[in-house]
Amino acid sequence: MRKIIVTSLAALLGIVNLFPFIFMLSSSFKPLGKIFEYPFRLVPEPFIWDNYKGIFGEQYKFALWYQNSAVMVVLTLALKCAIVSITAYAFARLRFRGRDMIFLLFLAALMLPGDATIIQRYVIYKVLHLTDTVWAIALPAAFDVYFVFLLRQFFLSIPFELTEAAIIDGCGHFRVFYRIILPLAKPALMTMILFSFVWSWNDFTNPFIFITNMDKQMLTVGIAMFQEMKSQNYALQMAASSLALIPVVLLFMFSQQYFIKGIATSGIKG
């Protein structure tokens, strides 16, 4: 009986959480006048593709925003994988003066909200001429203190005997890192990549602050501007939002086990 109750509650909760997405997807195939009709029709009638054709029209920049977001995410992930993994390896395996103190400063940075440094970052990027570029979004995301901590803890769990044996055989630290540590750290790296992809793709604040040129804008801000341009056309908004959701949904479908492991091992919530 208890199992039935728990299953029923879980199913109900799932339906409640899925309904906004179902409504969005269904409405994206409906004419504007049919979106809010009562009773709600799950299957659009008539079923049209005009909304999707409309958002790719010449008067909008949806395809360009989509491309900008894709480039930003790829650049962010590439930088983060390189910078975070090397930094974590240094804290976990190398011995140098001030290592523990520097790591404590890294941990202290976790207590500082990212939004608290937006003004300072904007001034720095303005001086360096990085505003209105993808680097203004990718660089701060690449230096992710939380994932430095996560990977460091994972690297510490790898037996030191493996790396010591490799060093005795003549391997340098870079070769040990590339040949031994990274292959063993695949679960932690996948966790970092998956969550970083979702966070970067859904990021609104940084593009909104650091990018003002609409030709270089990201998808999240573009959709918000799209809503202002076509404030009454909910059908086009639903189509744009549905397409923006596709990469995240596909990523979750094919990498669900890594998401679950990441939440279980790292304590990440949402």
Q: Higher pLDDT residue, 119 or 233?
A: 119
CA distance 110 to 88: 15
pLDDT for 270 equals 44
- Helices marked H in 28-159: 50-55, 62-93, 99-110, 118-127, 135-142, 145-157
Q: Which domain holds residue 34?
A: 1-48
Q: Are residues 143 and 159 in the same domain?
A: yes
178: domain CATH number?
1.10.3720.10
**Same-domain pairing of 85 and 44:** no
Distance CA 185, CA 210 (A): 34
Task: Give the predicted TM-score (pTM) of the model.
Answer: 0.82
Residues 71 and 144 in one domain: yes
* Look-up of token digits 């970092």: 192
- Asked if 91 and 221 sit in the same domain, the reply is yes
Residues 22 and 148 in one domain: no
Q: Is the pLDDT reported for residue 80 higher than 60?
A: yes
Contact 268, 195 (CB under 8 A): yes
Kindly report, residue by residue over 198-217, the tens digit of the pLDDT: 889 999 989 999 998 888 88
- DSSP-derived letter for residue 233 is -
Q: Are residues 79 and 130 in the same domain?
A: yes
Check whether residue 78 and residue 115 sit in a common domain. yes
Of 26, 48, 70, the domain-final residue: 48
* Phi, psi for 31 (deg, rounded to 5): -65, 160
Backbone angles phi, psi at 100, to 5 degrees: -65, -40
Instruction: Give pLDDT, residue 111.
Output: 82
**Do 33 and 149 fall within a single domain?**
no
- Are 24 and 114 in a shared domain? no
> Residue 140 has what pLDDT?
85
pLDDT at 269 over 50: no
Whole-angstrom Cα distance, residue 44 to residue 38?
13
Q: Is-contact 247 201, C-beta < 8 A?
A: yes
- Whether residue 11 is found in the same domain as residue 123: no
Assess whether 62 and 169 both reside in one domain: yes
CA 202/CA 206 separation, integer angstroms: 10
Cα separation of the two ends of the chain: 31
| Residue 197 sits in the same domain as residue 70 | yes
